[in-house]
Each structure stands twice: as C-alpha cells, then as structure tokens.
Amino acid sequence: MWQPDGWDVQVRLGVLTPHADVGPESELRAMAPAGVGLHFARVPFGAMGRGGAMGETIPLAPVRAFAEPPRVDEAAELLADAPVSVLAYAFTSSSYVIGARGEAYLLARLRERAHGLPVVATCAAAVEALRALGVGRIALVDPPWFDETLNELGRGYYEEAGFEVPYAAPCGLPGGQAQVTPRALHDWVAGEVGDAAEAVVIGGNGLRAVGVIEALEATLGRPVLTANQVLLWSALRAAGAGAGGVEGYGRLFAEVV
C-alpha cells in the first residue's frame, strides 16, 4: 500500500564531498544496498567552478586547502548532528598531498569535531582493503586531471604504507569528468597496467570508475579497487553494518565482508 520513502534504513552514512563534484554521490548511491541511507555535505573546493568545471589538471594548493580547517571541520560537525553512524571523506588527492601521517591527523581532527563518530577516508580505506585482500604490489591509475606530480605523490602514499607500486600513471583519457566512459576506462586500464601488480587501484572519487570493476577484474584476473568502492566498504564496516549486500562491484565486497 505504501511506497518506499527512504526512511526505513538500517544505517545512515554521512559523506563529505567537494561542493561541485557529483561523482561520489552518483557512485555511492549506485552501489549502496537497500537499507543504507546516504547523506552528503558539500565542502568548498577551490579548483572546481560552477557546473563542476575544472582545469586540465588540479593545482596542489586548493587540494591541500580542502583538508585544512575550518570548512571541512565545520561541515563534519554539522553533518554529524544528523542521525548518521559514520562520516566518509570522499577526496583522494588531499591524502596524496598530505601523506598518510597527515591523513591520520585529519581523521582524528574530524572525529573530534564529529562528536566522536568514526571517520573514514578513501586512501586509508584502500590500504585497509588491500591488506584484507592480501595484496602487496599494486598498479595505480589516477584520473586524467591528476598531473604527474600528484600521481607520484599517490605512489609515495602507497609505498609509505608498505606496498610495491611497479606502475603508476594518470589515465590517458580526455580530461573532463563527463568525457570518461566506462568502456574507455576499461580499455585503457586493460591495455596499460601490465602484469607486474597483484591488484589495480583506480584513484579519484570524481572519476567515473565503479561501473568497470567487474569487467576489469574479469579481463585482468585480479582485484580492482576504486576510490568510492573502498570508501563505501570501509564506511559500512565502521558503521558496524558489515559489507554484505553489495553485489556487482568487485571481489572486495564478495570476499571481505
């Protein structure tokens, strides 16, 4: 008699995302199983304009500024007042820039502002997922709007965490977010990453990527992790909900619940 209205969920996740980026919201909603509510707070990001416009590459200064007080802290505090169980920080590049140690400090700072709620971040989630899958060597693919400097910072992040990174590169596709298609991303990654790595990590919460996970895993015969995939996996676990019920988005959800 009554139509679904979004109220009857078992867990609600709060997500901090750049103000003009629809990527995290789109992909997390696509993956989230029934019973999971998603609630987003927009944080100003100086490298994005109206309509999600960006330059060909992201300058590092606004990337670093995104992770600094006060704006992301204020957004976390406000979002934590909602009935959410965890906050998820949906921004890969700032973790590359500030490093794992800086990211840990950021998470501790946001937890304090969020009244003690768990706070998870994309890169830390990727590290957790790789370890859970028993992976030691990765190929790192970043969005085309990550320049070589930012990509190398990403390589350094994962090397600092103890992984070998025999391959790291920005994706060689057209630079705009709306120009990346699942088929093009699949074909580029499949043709470029080679066989040296045990898993592929696709960085960038704004990169359209979760739709290619299963196809790429079938093509490459190894796990594929993407930014929003690992963020959802980590957030569900931090919320005490487990990671079951997510289907069609890779070995991570099938093997490590």
List residues bridging with 119 in a β-sheet: 87
Q: Pairing state of beta strands 137-142 and 199-202? A: parallel
What pLDDT tens digit does each residue of the chain (257 aa) get?
898 888 999 999 999 999 999 999 999 999 999 899 999 999 999 988 888 887 888 999 999 999 999 999 999 999 999 999 999 999 999 999 999 999 999 999 999 999 999 999 999 999 999 999 999 999 999 999 999 999 999 999 999 999 999 999 999 998 788 889 999 999 999 999 999 999 999 999 999 999 999 999 999 999 999 999 999 999 999 999 887 789 999 999 998 87
What lies within 8 Å, CB to CB, of 105 at 6+ separation is none
In the three-class reduction of DSSP (H, G, I as helix; E, B as strand; rest coil), residue 124 is classed as: helix
Cα 45 to Cα 67: distance, rounded to the nearest angstrom: 10
**CA torsion sign, 38 to 26 to 156 to 222?**
positive
Domains, the chain? 11-126+228-247 (3.40.50.12500), 129-226 (3.40.50.1860)
The pLDDT of residue 255 is 86
Whether the pTM exceeds 0.95: the reply is yes
pLDDT at 4: 85
